[in-house]
A and B are shown apart, each in its own frame.
Chain A
Amino acid sequence: MFKIKLNIEPRLLPSAGAILSVSFFALAIALLAASLIFLTYDIKPVEAYRLFFKGAFGSWYAISETIKRTIPLLLTGIGLAFSFKASVWNIGAEGQILLGAIFGSWIALFSGIPAPFLLIAMFAFGFLGGAVWALVAAVLRSKLAVNEIITSLMLNYVAANIVLYLIHGPWKGQGARGFAYTDTFPESAWLGTIGSTRIPYATLIIGIIIALICYLLISRTTLGYEIRVVGNSIRTARLVGINDFKIALLAMFVSGGLAGLAGVGEVSGIHHLLRHPSHISLGYGYTAIIVAWLARNNPLAVILTAFFFGALVSGGDALRVSLGIPFQLVYVLNGLILFSLIASERLTSYKLSFQRKNEKERR
């Protein structure tokens, strides 16, 4: 009589295959759970997912929408991966995106910088805007040990109110009449797009290059090594003489700055004006948290995960348009994916194997 015994052994480094298969498993579980939402709308889940897929990949237009949404997630996601790597919990990317948009719009509308330098100035100031906004939380964390999760998150709401103030008040456009947005930027402040699509290519290329740079920085340089040590244990970092304050400030500065770039990319590449915060960012700052986490905080993997969530956002948008399901559906998917992802992460740290075992041995 043979019995089969399940062996569970812990393993130190999960294999890439295990991570990948478990991640896919987690995604499948999350999508299955989200079907319940469709059922409450009296829509067959299969039909909903078909429309969802069509909205994300079904045509050239759909794919271009997906890529359009990938760009802000990519830029923001790389930054968050960078800061999570150092265990700096920047939850304020949404606000940093908006600050980038504000600073970029300011340069575009009021600086009068001539054409070739205008875009460069917009992106430089946008980066600074996001970075400085993030530094508020970083400085409070480093100097006063104030929890950066709460401060960075609270500042999201403040940033949204600043945008609202500007578009209703001092920056309200001459031609906007009843609507609350600024004047349209001069065309020299518009990012070029690929062909007839709405994909600004500059930010796409910048995003991929930055992903590469950040990957090399984290994996190949001394600074990257210091970031990883601080991320694992601040105590160890201090013992070996790494300045963890400096690392935390840097992580926040970079992640805020990249979110700021994403914000400029949205106003300069897509809207060409500053408008309601919920139009500038479709919750990209929050979704990027999952983008970074799904990529295991690896900037190169962020390229893939950002594309995946770009598809999720444009699929969700398609369902909103065709079936009237609110956009918050994307948050449901985000939450479920994140849950099943972290739950399944446990699985990758164990090795499962089956072993035959006979009666005698079992006793």
Chain B
Amino acid sequence: MDLEFWIVTTLNRALAYGTPILLATLGEIYAERSGVLNLGVEGMMILGAFFAFCTTFFTANPWLGVLIGALVAGLASLLHAFLSITLRVNQIISGLALTMLGLGISGTLGRGWEGKILESTIASVEIDYLSKIPILGPILFTNQNSLVHLSILIAFGLWFLLFKTRIGISIRAVGENPAAADVMGINVWKIRYLCVFLGGLLAGLAGSYLSVAYQPAWASGMTAGMGWLAVALTIFAFWNPLLGMVGAFLFGALYHLSFRLQNWVAPEILNSLPYLFPIVVLIIVARFASKKRIGAPAVLGQPYKRGE
């Protein structure tokens, strides 16, 4: 096998596998930038995956499925938003509750669909003139689904919004110093609600990608810890959407490469790798971050109350 072909296919699969991780990570970056820690990503993702799957199953319209999947996860995120922003409860516990609820609901409701396969899915697009571009063509535009392209655009868009616009400044201010932001007339609660909701929509989109595009079938627990990976990658990315993209695709590549070791390594060891990578990544990042003094948003996980 020649090297160029090998690199190209690896990168191609890295994008396909990294896309749901990227979407979920982007969502968590926004929630955390506004100061809200949401550990419910896994639950929101699986809700998105499930509702996208059944909508598509009944309507044969995968795009409607993606929309519903994202919306359901968005609604679920509002539960966490209400509890952590308005009621100011412990965000760790609230996020865990959301994850349990999501896994539970999708598992109980989805029993009848277990192993069912979708007939109408979001197919990969082949654009003739784009796929002929050397290197980039076969990576980006061959056997690649339009949700992959969409998620890359979203990543750039969210980076621009966060670092180049007034809204982005407001979001970061709310996550660093909500009292000061409040004094400057920024509506802390509104920004936090919107960021958490955006996080839910993107987690739902990520789940939808899994169940109607990547492997158009339903299996309970099919997100398999990907939501937790997103929480880890948020730290890896230093809360920056573009670095989040690097992390997600890097992880996609590692995952794909570990598949290729199938013939030599026990499957249980290979199946453990997706969970060991994030730990290794966090260790590396921790060493780096302590040198560079880059940290989490200052009030991450702390509810805001006027006059406190």
Q: Which residues of A contact B (CB under 8 A)?
A: 37, 40, 89, 91, 140, 144-147, 149-151, 153-155, 157-158, 161-162, 164-165, 168-169, 286, 289, 293, 324-336, 338-339, 342-343, 345-346
Contact = CB atoms under 8 A, between A and B. Distances in A.
Nearest to B42: A153
Contacts of A336: 101
A330 B103 CA distance: 10
Contact of B94 (A147, A168, A327, A342): A342
Closest 10 CB pairs of A and B: A335-B101, A328-B107, A331-B104, A332-B104, A165-B268, A338-B97, A335-B100, A144-B286, A154-B275, A157-B275
B109 A339 contact: no
Interface of B: 39, 43, 79, 83, 87-90, 92-94, 96-109, 111, 220, 224-225, 228, 231-232, 235, 266, 268-269, 271-272, 274-276, 278-279, 282-283, 286-287, 290
Given A157-B272, A326-B107, A334 B100 contact: yes
A89 B89 contact: no
A339 B79 contact: yes
Given A157-B225, A161-B271, A330-B104, A335 B286 contact: no
Contact of B268 (A40, A140, A168, A326): A168
Contact of B101 (A144, A326, A332, A342): A332
Contact of B220 (A149, A326, A335): A326
Contacts of B98: 335, 339
Given A161-B269, A342-B97, 19 more contacts: A140-B279, A140-B282, A146-B282, A150-B282, A154-B225, A154-B278, A325-B108, A326-B220, A328-B108, A329-B108, A331-B101, A334-B104, A335-B99, A335-B101, A335-B102, A338-B96, A339-B79, A342-B89, A342-B94
9 contacts: A40-B109, A91-B96, A150-B279, A161-B269, A326-B107, A332-B101, A335-B104, A335-B105, A338-B96
Given A157-B272, A158-B275, A343 B89 contact: yes
Nearest to B102: A335
Given A151-B279, A334-B100, A336-B101, A164 B87 contact: no
Given A150-B231, A150-B232, A289 B266 contact: no
Given A328-B108, A335-B104, A146 B97 contact: no
B283 A342 contact: no
Nearest to B93: A342
A235 B266 CA distance: 46
A345 B232 contact: no
Contacts of B232: 147, 150, 154
B284 to A, nearest CB: 10
A117 B109 CA distance: 48
Contacts of A140: 279, 282-283, 286
Contacts of A164: 268, 271
A65 to B, nearest CB: 21
Contacts of B224: 157
Contacts of B231: 149-150
Interface centre among B100, B105, B279 (most CB of A within 10 A): B100
Contacts of A155: 275, 279
A343 B87 contact: yes
A144 B287 contact: yes
B286 A146 contact: yes
Contact of A328 (B92, B220, B279): B220
A328 B97 contact: no
B282 A326 contact: no
Contacts of B109: 37, 40
A154 B83 contact: no
Interface centre among A40, A324, A331, A343 (most CB of B within 10 A): A331
